[in-house]
Amino acid sequence: MDKVVRAGVAVFVLNKKDELLLGKRCGSLACGVYALPGGKPEYGEDPIDTAKREVLEETGLCIWGLEQLGWVNNYFPEEDEHWITLFYVARGIVGNPKNLEPDKNEGWAWCQLPHAKATGLVGLVS
């Protein structure tokens, strides 16, 4: 089978206190790593719609006012996977985060940006 480059979307969800929503991954790629909500687009889906859908599916939050930040190119040789990930920031949110995918995430927490930067998410939203 031919190898493919996969596409993903990740969202910096910020609340009114400028705290960033992070979850600790489990049961999949990068287990134990703090991560943003996000996922893969469905065929024909606009990446902004992917961002809104994934945040809703994973956290129960409705988001709006998305702004595209940039993208990264990641190759994971141990898993033999190659991903291009688009990043967005959402400052408009409704609701409180819930862990709707406990098989993929240990839970969501609001983190102040200095603490979030210590997790390796440096410079993208400051």
- Give CA–CA dist 83/74, Å, rounded: 5
For the stretch 80-124, pLDDT in tens is 999 999 999 999 999 999 999 999 999 999 999 765 555 555 344
pLDDT of residue 117: 55
pLDDT of residue 78: 86
For the stretch 6-28, pLDDT in tens is 999 999 999 999 999 999 988 76
What are the sequence ranges of the domains in the chain?
5-118
| Record: fold of 5-118 | Nucleoside Triphosphate Pyrophosphohydrolase (3.90.79)
18 φ/ψ angles, rounded to the nearest 5 degrees: 60, 35
For the stretch 12-71, pLDDT in tens is 999 999 999 999 988 766 788 889 999 999 999 999 999 999 999 999 999 999 999 999
